[in-house]
Amino acid sequence: MGGDAIECFSDVKTSTEPITQKTYQVVVAATPDMGIGKDGKLPWRLPGDLKFFKEITATTSDPNKKNAVMMGRRTWDSIPPQFRPLPGRLNVVLTRSASSDVAAAENVISCGSMSSALKLLAEPPYSLSVEKVFLIGGGQILREALNAVECDAIHITEIKTSVECDTFIPPIDMSVYQPWYSSSPVEENGIQYCFATYVRLRTSTSGPVNSGHELSCNGSTSRSKRFKHSDFTYLPKFVFEKHEEFQYLRLVQDIISNGNSKEDRTGTGTLSKFGCQMRFNLRKSFPLLTTKRVFWRGVVEELLWFISGSTNAKILQEKGIHIWDGNASREFLDSIGLTDREEGDLGPIYGFQWRHFGARYTNMHADYTGQGFDQLLDVIDKIKNKPDDRRIILSAWNPSDLKLMALPPCHMFAQFYVANGELSCQMYQRSADMGLGVPFNIASYALLTCMIAHVCGLIPGEFVHVIGDAHVYKTHISPLQEQLKKLPRPFPILKISPEKKDIDSFVAADFEVRNYEPHQKLEMKMAV
């Protein structure tokens, strides 16, 4: 290919023969109203964006291959002559004019249409030497191609600052695309922006925007047959590995490979590491892990149970939620000296401390209205009225009550942080069962953050999960090793009923995760 300029002007749409085409991924920077240019140029100068563009388009997994960058003639002309063709990549210029400067350039081919270019790239010699195809502009081509079925992914630099543009592209069709990852916002030269990748889930849209896989809190799933991919390794490797679920998978692998062997109160035995952290971006998607199915209905019902202040495990049991059964059983309560405690009464655990901190606990049937300190309402009040307060704290750890609890709090302390119209949460977990508990805990505190943001009129920001003793029970090693073989899929989208503005008014039906398509459930026995 080197040194050869090739022109192709046939439009493959006129052919009656079966056509094999390469698919492509779009790389673009755009404002909130999808402005991409002004006077034929980029209306911003962002070194970080240029670095990201080069890394996306020039990096290959196979060192013997290169990527192709496909662009319209105007985009080609807008590149300063000293920088074109873009080095280390096959430059594909879409033009119907046999221009001498394009035809004579090294590592350049010109084609009369995008479909003819994709067909050419799917045939030898290019099929043997080109790894991925990236469409980089301009406006007219992107208007036709951004949401086309041949587009597998969109890598977008989302410009958050208002910038005047005269060239626009359509919005990303969120009925067929799903966020893969999104960076935290950064700022350069007075412009705030972030990087995001959206992957195609479906080949087409039929029905409402929320068609696809929807998981409501009653456990029902609406399924669609239009999912295009279940394996997203076609993404650039460094983008693929930015999926936040890899934090969890790498931590599990590290604990299994390098953890300290320790005994524990259950007698099961663990492999353990101390002092770990994971961060989850809540701005576009919801961190419900995908390498195994997470019990979403259980996450929602338990959190609502906490918020209600209840300590009665039977309320969850009646809803088919049995995650507290082991710690609420007669046998377990007797084993820890709570022989006078009614079966199902867990004592002053999470919800009681959240809503009645400092109140004297008697039993699960008592009315504690007005007793103790309501930390949850205090958190919400401070977020609304004192958002810069550094004491927006929710604590379940009450040393004087620990002896009355069936299980002292594992996720024990949360701090909330408000900035730029966003609410973030950092939670400290003293003890974390990586196999069973942590996927649940991530979802629970992410949901709590989203709920509080919702009632406070804020956007969810980040959930930061800090763990003290992160452990894998030795009985969980085998199923976790199976889970580690799975590859992440896109996190789902959380939808909360817009009518609800009171933290105590929510019911399970107010929450829905859309497009949750995990791997199958993995059985792990709880250590009690």
Question: Known catalytic residue: 410?
Answer: yes
Q: Measured between alpha carbons, how far is 134 from 468 in angstroms, rounded to an integer?
A: 43
Q: Measured between alpha carbons, how far is 84 from 56 in angstroms, rounded to an integer?
A: 17
217 near 296, Cβ under 8 Å?
yes
Longest dimension (CA), the chain: 92
Q: Identify which of 75, 112, 68 has the alpha carbon closest to the alpha carbon of residue 90.
A: 68
Token look-up 């060239």 returns 167
Residue 400, token pair as written in the block: 């004087």
The DSSP H or E segment spanning 378 is helix 375-385
Contacts of 121 (CB under 8 A, 6+ apart): 21, 22, 68, 92, 127, 130, 133
Which residue of the set 165, 276, 410, 425 is catalytic? 410
Q: Residue 329 is which amino acid? A: S
Q: Identify which of 463, 487, 490 has the alpha carbon closest to the alpha carbon of residue 198.
A: 490
Degrees, nearest 5: CA angle 138-143-148: 115
β-sheet bridge partners, residue 357: 373
Q: Measured between alpha carbons, how far is 133 from 91 in angstroms, rounded to an integer?
A: 10
Q: Measured between alpha carbons, how far is 253 from 482 in angstroms, rounded to an integer?
A: 11
Per DSSP, the three-state class of 7 is: strand
Contacts of 328 (CB under 8 A, 6+ apart): 313, 314, 343, 344, 345, 346, 406
Q: Measured between alpha carbons, how far is 384 from 502 in angstroms, rounded to an integer?
A: 13
Strand segments, DSSP code E, in 383-458 are: 393-395, 411-419, 422-433
Helices (H) and strands (E) in the chain, counts: 16, 22
Backbone φ and ψ for 331, nearest 5 degrees, come out as: -60, -45
Contacts of 307 (CB under 8 A, 6+ apart): 351, 354, 355, 376, 503, 504, 506
CA distances from 81 to 51, 84, 140, 402, 451 (A): 19, 5, 22, 71, 52
Residue 211, token pair as written in the block: 């068609």
Q: Which residues are catalytic?
A: 410
